Structure 1
């Protein structure tokens, strides 16, 4: 069991706390917030409540995302943009999703795309990095949910910025066709990439237009 009793999270999201492994600093340990699944279940529309609390557990959703066809194939080059997965493990704070930690050159958690854009904007370097990431998604047919700026982190490798997806694996399609068909997978991924670029455009804007409205208007272009 991983003892987190003396650890503080280095990051947190709406549903999970993120810790560095107390004995292996290059490992990330993600724990659900206490009682969060019950809270999400209680707020869910009636047609989702039949799934039970497990449906709202981000660790189980991440496990499902890592079990997709593209990752199970484990082709050479697959891990260029993904932290490796070490399963769900017991901790002193409950079950945790355990992955590689993406670190910068100083050994600190790598900055998010949002942090980079806030500091540097959409320069040529990050544009090229996102294009390489998009090509990788299509080549390996990796299914993701919406590619948002705080779920992508950046690390310099061989003189180039490399994008890593640290959260959001999985398929958000109502029908499972992208999970079983290469044709539908590529169509699905193209739509996720289109939304990713819209999200980048919104991140560098003044954000006066709420994201949902910005997205809806952008997809009409």
Structure 2
């Protein structure tokens, strides 16, 4: 058999490389201390795959999980993309999407808005529930859409538990992709509600998706 070699290292080393945006998209990595492989989905994100012994019934995990590799701040009232929490849906597929996110803000009175932006795709449909909040100051949006083409679905909330304490955001969506999908992918976006006062998406926040 031909000799094929892949980059290898411990989980901690791979996490450190991801935090430094040092991964190469599409590269296969061997996690030596766990005996499993991972594939880089971006410079700061990777997907680690279950071993056969870990998957129920001998199958594989149907979820693809993306992780925010490093803290990312935004002090503007216009949205920015996380960069790591993005994926490209395939045509004529239906997806379940979940995101579990952590944020901090520069001041207790500074709120964060967060959500998903969907690519231009005529005929795309779905429904989303987007929730963020802390200390009882929560905001929830239920978005039942006849169209999820070139759309951003987001909500905002004030950090009520102290600016240094992370507060939680959650997104749940069903997305039905049409035959033709524009570029950009489905991506996590966020912004501050107060110009000049930063909000930060914390490393370790995740977005995962699976085909239904």
Calculate the TM-score normalised by the size of structure 2: 0.26
Of Structure 1 and Structure 2, the greater helix share is in 1
Of Structure 1 and Structure 2, the greater strand share is in 2
